[in-house]
Amino acid sequence: MQILIKNKLCSSVTACSLLVVLLTSCQPMQKARLASRPAKQPKFISGIYMTGHMRTGATANAVDHQFVAPPPALRQLEIPSAVVKAEPVAVPALPVVAAKISAKNARQHKATEAKPVEVVAVVEAPPAPALITEEKTPAEQTDLITEFGACTKYADMIGIKPDAIGNTGLYKFIDRWYGTDYRLGGEDEDGIDCSGFARRLYSEVYRMELTRTAMDQYKNSDKRSKHTDEAEEGDLVFFRQRGKRITHVGVYLANGYFIHSSTSQGVVISNLSEEYWHKHYVGIGKMEKMDTAMTAVSAAAEIPTAH
């Protein structure tokens, strides 16, 4: 058994030795073959050195199709800076060029003629006209200032905000008549009584004509009430100072305040909470303003003065 193992080891060593000898003998031959080859020269394309991996790459293609710069004479040309405005030109109808179609799909395609191209001319829009602002005359400006001043003054007097006043004409009228003397039977600025003042106010502010006396105005009211919390701007306020007849009238404003022509102070603003007026208070009378007016009058109409 040992003899067989030794024989196998000897044969293996002999085979390895032969392989080494063969490889050693081949090296000089390989070197000699390589030495006999001519040396590779570097490859240049249009003056650019190309390495091995670029022989079929994009660089070689780019060199073959490289951009050729224009001659210096062309580079020195300058484009005029003036802009030429082109006029719109009608474009004639052009035939459609049939596309190249494979024989397989030729049956599915038909050549058609192109529709004419519609050229739309671009027209510049004219400049927008300047906004025309309505200028007010000096008289109109004075009226606006008067209305604003009157609203501010009387709003503070009766305890409301100026922007809460909707009927500015009412307070403009009050401002014009405020302080006018009392005169029994009077209807003008020289002197006016309570029913005459109420009638004048309704005529100019609400375009309504009331009857002449306080008693008749009470009787002709569309609705009467004793509750002051139902009073609204413009309602008539009635008082009984003696006997059973209505003897005094005013026009309600807000927060218990009313405007009237007092025998002692003339046209003035008073409050229903004051002791005298609270004692003689009868109630309020509502008129259907602008809807069921007894007679419509012009804004500029003046009630004739009694003589």
Is residue 41 within 8 A of residue 47, CB to CB? The reply is no
Provide the β-strand partners of residue 286. Answer: 223
How far is residue 105's CA from residue 102's CA, in Å, rounded to a whole number? 6
Domain 141-286 in this protein, CATH class: alpha beta
How far is residue 248's CA from residue 261's CA, in Å, rounded to a whole number? 9
Which tokens is 165 given? 């006043």
Contacts (Cβ under 8 Å, ≥6 apart) of 23: none
Which residue type occupies 82?
A: A
Is residue 248 within 8 A of residue 214, CB to CB? The reply is yes
Query: Strand 223-225 to strand 281-286: parallel, antiparallel, or no bridges (unpaired)?
Result: antiparallel
Specify the 3-state DSSP secondary structure of 261. Answer: strand
Is residue 251 within 8 A of residue 232, CB to CB? The reply is no
Tens of pLDDT along the chain (307 residues)?
Answer: 556 665 666 666 677 677 766 666 666 676 666 666 665 555 555 555 454 444 444 444 444 444 445 555 544 544 454 444 545 555 555 444 444 445 555 555 554 454 555 555 555 655 544 444 456 676 666 666 667 888 899 999 999 999 999 899 999 999 999 999 999 999 999 999 999 999 999 999 999 999 999 999 999 999 999 999 999 999 999 999 988 899 999 999 999 999 999 999 999 999 999 999 999 999 999 998 754 333 333 343 444 433 3
Provide the β-strand partners of residue 269. Answer: 259
Sign, CA dihedral 80-86-91-96, equals positive
- Model pLDDT, residue 115: 54
Backbone angles phi, psi at 228, to 5 degrees: -70, -25
How far is residue 65's CA from residue 232's CA, in Å, rounded to a whole number? 97
